[in-house]
Structure 1
């Protein structure tokens, strides 16, 4: 059976993680999200807590923090070492089995493979705000602040390490608005698309 690899990038609050998890369940394939952190920690030598914070998000200071981050004698910063460990783990996972991988620039890391379907899930502000308020028990203002902060840090990390623009349609096979389509239809479209893709 041909391998199926699906990467899902997503805006915070769009339900991309939930959609990815459901797709993996329905297809009966592995699902990688936060459980990848332990493997990255093992390869990099950093603690899982440090990886949790650094492996997908840029420093809170934004893109320029990468350029001026402390570097070792080889010119690598700690963020660079985390990214390299993350890249190795993702390449190994893709080599090993069919799976859904959430975030972590997996679409770019696996760009040379022919068996990968890259998906970007986005949504409308009111629906994303309502979902964040419900899931995290925060006010509307707090939800919008969380969304802005997390998406900004994801964007900075992605743009720095990939030389591409996060969320730009040309980087993905499929871009879906979960607010307009609903989660179930998004799941169905991802599964239908991966059938055609392999």
Structure 2
């Protein structure tokens, strides 16, 4: 609820380039002939599972790594989709570990947008229609899922500042100003 998706869309509009976020997930679902809902669950759900982590650790330890799990296949599909889209020209990617997918390129600006707790709660209620009583637990749950997804697929800490070129606080700057700053950095 820090506004990353809205900021990404504004940046894309300002630069007159495409913006992809959830569309990557939808393309991956289409490639695998799976429902978007199932792919969504695989993307952020399975990697946070204690059993999944135990499976990965034990299969590495005993050398029976075997075939890729559905979640690993999905991650590979998403990386390939991001790389294919990036070949078409300048693009804004929101989430999906795009910076990791494009880590071999030197023309990528890696941005992390965050906001203070009160701003996120207010925005989640206003933008997503969530009730204030449930917002804190929902935000905590999604932050954990995203962090786990990033850790499992990129091997890095989602909140580690060294992973990014630019870190913006949308609760201080606002959505529009954050987009202006990013767009200016891309010119």
Alignment TM-score, normalising by the size of structure 2: 0.88
The residue that corresponds to 1:48 in the other structure is 36
Range 121-130 or range 64-73, more displaced: 64-73
How does 1:134-173 map onto structure 2 within 5 Å?
134-173=126-165
How does 1:99-138 map onto structure 2 within 5 Å?
99-138=91-130
Deviation at 1:49, TM superposition (A): 2.2
Question: Which residue of the other structure, out of 5, 8, 12, is the alignment partner of 1:24?
Answer: 12
How does 1:2-21 map onto structure 2 within 5 Å?
13-21=1-9
Deviation at 1:80, TM superposition (A): 0.7
Question: Which residue of the other structure, out of 45, 48, 71, is the alignment partner of 1:58?
Answer: 45
> In proportion to residue count, which structure has more helix?
2
**Alpha carbon RMSD of aligned pairs, Å?**
2.1
Q: In structure 1, list runs of 5 or more residues that go unmatched.
A: 1-12
Q: How many residues align?
A: 181
Alignment TM-score, normalising by the size of structure 1: 0.84
> In proportion to residue count, which structure has more strand?
1
Closer/same/farther in 2, CA of residues 53 and 115 from structure 1, 3 Å limit: same
The residue that corresponds to 1:174 in the other structure is 166
CA contact (8 A) 1:63 1:160 kept: no
Q: In structure 2, list runs of 5 or more residues that go unmatched.
A: none
Deviation at 1:74, TM superposition (A): 3.0
Closer/same/farther in 2, CA of residues 174 and 63 from structure 1, 3 Å limit: farther
Is 1:33 matched with 2:21? yes
